[in-house]
Each structure stands twice: as C-alpha cells, then as structure tokens.
C-alpha cells in the first residue's frame, strides 16, 4: 500500500491510499486534531483521539436496542424516556434513515480496541443554509465520565465543518443534564437560548437549552495552535 499526501496552507492535508494504481480511500487530517477516513464506495470512518466513528451498520442495532431501552441511558432523551422500543422498531428505523442519507448521517461510536460504546448523528441537514443538528450518546455506562463523549463530539464537529462544509452545528440539551452541558461547553458550543417548558417528561414540563457552534470558531482555534 502506498500513500500520497497534499497539504493546504498548513491547515489540513489529504492523504490518498492506493493498492497498486487503485485509490482505496483517503484521510483528511486537520492539524492532527481529527482524521477522517473516507473509503471508496464504503462507509465513512472518523478517527478521534480515543474513539472511532463508523457509519451505522445493521449489526450495530443489537447494542442500540439494549441501550435505548435502559431508562438510565434515555433519561434525558426527549422522545424515548418512557417508550419501549422493540428490535423490529429499530430495524424499521434503520431502513427509514437509510433512505434519508441526504438529510441525516448516523454513526456508531467505537473505542480503539474496538468496542461499540454509543451513537452519534448529524440530522436535519439544511444544505442551503449549511447547518445541522448534532446528537450523541454513550450507551456503555462503564465509559461514562471518561472523555469518550467529548472526543466523539469534537470529531463529529470537525467532520461537519470540514467534510460537509457546514457553517453552523446546533443541538438541544436538558438543563439538568450536567454531564452533557459540560461536554458541549468544552467542545466550544455556546448557549443561544432556552425553549421554556418545551418537553413533557416524567409528569412535568422541562426547559430545553439550544446551543450552537460556528465553523469560524473552530478555524480560529486551529489557527491559534
């Protein structure tokens, strides 16, 4: 296997991997912050410091089924906190999102071992206005509080801005979800506002915080390194 590399003003580089004369994939590296491997004709794979984000596959549904029926994991999920999902429900969901690839991109989160530990997504992608909603969860509770969510969030942000050419990435978070808030603030998200009593969960209404990050914020941080 051989490799060719092109650098662009010192900000990012693209490496092409070949078998003989055939290009089998490429890696986009943004100053060593995150590597995005794009296999030819295959699933996208994003490599962070401690995690790898791979395009969601049918084989990943088994773990998701267990995680999404665990109330401790879905406690702050706006649409799943009190709903039981069958394996068939998730398989139908997978078929549905497979038809919406221009609007949603779903990933499974793996450690470097590799071990499947969670999921992430960019959805509601608005190509005209170049924005998308980010969602992420760590389903393996033994990995909570160890930085995997932060690394996955950072990696997905760079993918959205540098590979999809997005301008703004936004998200919703429950004010009581302190671990998630800490993760998003650490990765550069800024609070835009609050949707008052936006979600009814566990017998009462809850506020929702809207946060976002802009591409130029990330570029400034890269230039400062």
CATH code at position 105: 3.40.630.30
CB atoms within 10 A of CB 191: 14
Residue with tokens 């835009």: 192
**Number of structural domains found in the chain:** 1
Per-residue pLDDT of the chain (225 residues; tens, 9 = 90+): 333 333 333 444 444 333 333 333 444 444 444 444 444 344 678 889 999 999 888 889 889 888 988 888 888 886 654 456 777 888 888 877 777 666 888 899 999 998 999 999 999 999 999 999 999 999 999 999 999 999 999 999 998 998 888 999 999 999 999 999 999 999 999 999 999 999 888 888 999 999 999 999 887 665 565
Provide φ and ψ at 77, rounded to 5°: -75, 125
Q: Which two tokens stand for residue 157?
A: 């942000």
User: What gap in Å lies between CA 119 and CA 138, rounded to an integer?
Assistant: 7
47 to each of 34, 72, 158, 162, 183, how far by Cα in Å? Answer: 6, 28, 11, 14, 18
Kindly report the pTM of this predicted structure. Answer: 0.77
Q: What is the rounded end-to-end Cα distance, in angstroms, of the chain?
A: 32
**Helix (H/G/I), strand (E/B), else coil: 61:** helix
Domain that holds residue 21: 2-224
The pLDDT tens digits of the residues spanning 62-80 come to 898 889 888 888 888 866 5
């Amino acid at each position: 296997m051989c490799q060719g590399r092109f650098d662009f003003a010192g900000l990012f580089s693209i490496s092409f991997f070949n078998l003989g004369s055939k290009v089998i994939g490429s890696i986009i590296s943004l100053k060593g912050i995150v590597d995005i491997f794009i296999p030819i004709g295959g699933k996208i794979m994003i490599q962070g410091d401690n995690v790898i984000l791979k395009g969601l596959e049918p084989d990943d549904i088994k773990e998701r089924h267990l995680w999404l029926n665990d109330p401790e994991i879905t406690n702050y999920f706006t649409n799943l906190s009190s709903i039981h999902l069958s394996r068939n429900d998730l398989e139908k969901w997978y078929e549905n999102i497979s038809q919406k690839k221009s609007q949603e991109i779903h990933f499974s989160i793996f450690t470097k071992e590799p071990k499947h530990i969670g999921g992430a997504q960019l959805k509601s992608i608005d190509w005209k206005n170049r924005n998308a909603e980010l969602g992420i969860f760590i389903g393996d509770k033994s990995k909570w509080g160890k930085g995997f969510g932060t690394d996955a969030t950072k990696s997905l942000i760079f993918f959205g801005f540098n590979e999809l050419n997005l301008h703004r990435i936004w998200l919703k978070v429950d004010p009581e979800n302190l671990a998630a808030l800490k993760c998003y603030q650490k990765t550069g998200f800024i609070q835009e506002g609050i949707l008052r009593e936006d979600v009814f969960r566990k017998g009462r209404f809850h506020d929702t915080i809207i946060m976002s990050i802009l591409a130029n914020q990330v570029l400034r941080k890269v230039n400062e390194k």
